[in-house]
């Protein structure tokens, strides 16, 4: 039995899944054509490159799953010796000429030649089979002591996302290899779930626990404070529902503010209604003016007709008939 046959129902995506249609504007959420000429994408990756340099000051970077090499090119622009690899021959061939020579065609399951100050892997492993993803983690950990990693924990709609996991599970797999989250680093400039993993040979179990606890403690306290505030708000709402007989100074203040808001909304509604009525009045006045103008013209025509010779002759001829009717 081959290793690949262990997960026959969990195949990974292949190069043909990342052809021209994968990189079109519609597939990428309407953010424009995915290439260096796109100002929006270029600005995004230059910003990411600046933040990465500000965090870890890498001299060399290898980008796993580099696509068209936009991050590689942004890092190069800032003087970093950056390279990348991607499984898509279309992506590599479509890369900008300034960066194409630094990109190689291949899978993340293949070893990375040499070592780097930083390996980046942004939204890649969720596209691979479970076995392939573990091989990719091994290769990244062998090539650097520092890995910037991101993999969506919740996007199951993308057809090529065949290996989506919670961020905690990826962190556990990296921890098996001696890599732990930098809890003092905020990578939300890239994605909300991005992590910077580091391997530190001098890091003891105590150090790891202290780092995670220093991150967990404030978050837990914030959660408790918000729960307490939510409970207090619930109590105040319940008190308001009991009616005015149990209203204290605080509740009265809340009621007054609510009444002021309701009054303001009523005034705004009345002002809007007045505006509509004024517009209707102007429209009716305009119609009345046009009707009067038409009536004036009709009266002038009638007066002219009454002064005409034909009118007088007609009146004379019909005089006997009018006498008979009377």
Closest CA to 197 of 158, 159, 143: 143
State which of 195, 220, 241 marks the end of a domain. Answer: 241
Q: What is the mean pLDDT of each run of 10 residues along the chain (326 residues)?
A: 48 69 57 84 96 97 97 97 96 94 96 97 96 97 98 90 94 95 93 93 73 72 80 78 58 68 71 74 78 81 78 71 65
Write the pLDDT tens digit of every residue in 137-160. 999 999 999 999 999 999 888 888
- 176/210 same-domain check: no
pLDDT for res 31: 59
The residue length of the chain stands at 326
Are both 64 and 183 inside the same structural domain?
yes
Give residue 244's pLDDT: 54
Three-class DSSP category at 78? coil
3-state SS class at 136: helix
Token readout for 234 is 């619930």
* pLDDT score of 326: 59
Residues contacting residue 12 through CB under 8 Å, at least 6 positions apart: 127, 128, 129, 132, 133, 162, 163
* 79 and 170 share one domain: yes
Q: Which residue has the tokens 């992590």?
A: 195
- HSE-CB of 36 using CA atoms within 13 angstroms: 21
Kindly state whether residues 261 and 300 are assigned to the same domain.
yes
229 and 161 housed in the same domain: no
Instruction: Identify whether residues 38 and 147 lie together within a single domain.
Output: yes
- Are 11 and 132 contained in the same domain? yes
> Do 222 and 82 fall into the same domain?
no
- Look at the chain and report how many structural domains it folds into: 3
Which residue has tokens 């100074």?
Answer: 249
Select from 177, 203, 229 the last residue of a domain: 203
Q: Which of 241, 269, 303 is the last residue of a domain?
A: 241
The answer on 184 and 256 residing in a single domain is no
Conformational region of residue 79, where left means phi above 0, alpha means psi within -120 to 50, and beta covers everything else: left
Among candidates 134, 133, 146, which has minimal Cα distance to 182? 146
The range of the structural domain enclosing residue 264 comes to 249-325
Q: What is the DSSP string of 46-68?
A: HHHHHHHHHHH--SEEEEET-TT
- The pTM is what? 0.65
Same domain, 42 and 173: yes
**Residue 116 sits in the same domain as residue 23:** yes
- Rounded to 5°, the CA angle 290-296-299 comes to 145
Residue 120's CATH number: 3.40.50.150
3-state helix, strand, coil in the chain (%, to 5): 60, 10, 30
Domain match, 194 and 236 both: no
Is 88 in contact with 15 (CB distance < 8 Å)? yes
Q: CB neighbours of 221 closer than 8 A, spacing ≥ 6?
A: none
Q: How far are the Cα atoms of 15, 18, 122, 131, 313 from residue 163, in angstroms, in the given order?
A: 16, 16, 14, 10, 102
Asked if 271 and 256 touch (Cβ cutoff 8 Å), the reply is no
């Amino acid at each position: 039995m081959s290793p690949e046959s262990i997960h026959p129902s969990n195949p990974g995506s292949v190069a043909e899944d990342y052809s021209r249609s994968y990189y079109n504007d519609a597939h990428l959420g309407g953010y424009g054509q995915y290439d260096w000429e796109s100002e929006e994408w270029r600005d995004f990756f230059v910003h990411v490159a600046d933040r990465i340099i500000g965090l870890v000051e890498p001299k060399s970077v290898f980008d796993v799953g580099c696509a068209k090499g936009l991050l590689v090119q942004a890092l190069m622009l800032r003087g970093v010796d950056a390279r990348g690899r991607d499984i898509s021959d279309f992506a590599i061939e479509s890369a900008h000429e300034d960066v194409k020579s630094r990109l190689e065609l291949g899978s993340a399951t293949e070893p990375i030649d040499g070592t780097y100050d930083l390996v980046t892997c942004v939204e890649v492993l969720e596209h691979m089979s479970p076995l392939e993803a573990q091989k990719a983690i091994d290769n990244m950990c062998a090539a650097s002591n520092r890995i910037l990693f991101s993999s969506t924990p919740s996007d199951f709609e993308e057809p090529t996302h065949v290996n989506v996991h919670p961020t905690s599970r990826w962190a556990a797999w990296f921890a098996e290899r001696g890599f732990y989250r930098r809890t003092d680093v905020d990578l939300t400039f890239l994605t909300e779930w991005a992590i910077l993993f580091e391997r530190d040979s001098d890091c003891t179990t105590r150090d790891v626990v202290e780092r995670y606890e220093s991150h967990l403690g404030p978050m837990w306290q914030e959660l408790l404070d918000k729960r307490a505030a939510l409970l207090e708000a619930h109590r105040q709402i319940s008190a308001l529902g009991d009616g005015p007989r149990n209203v204290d100074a605080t509740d009265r203040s809340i009621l007054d503010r609510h009444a002021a808001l309701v009054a303001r909304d009523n005034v705004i509604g009345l002002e809007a209604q007045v505006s509509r009525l004024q517009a209707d009045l102007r429209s009716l006045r305009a119609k009345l003016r046009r009707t009067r103008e038409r009536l004036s013209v009709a009266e002038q025509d009638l007066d002219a007709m009454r002064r005409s010779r034909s009118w007088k002759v007609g009146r004379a001829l019909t005089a006997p008939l009018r006498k008979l009717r009377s």
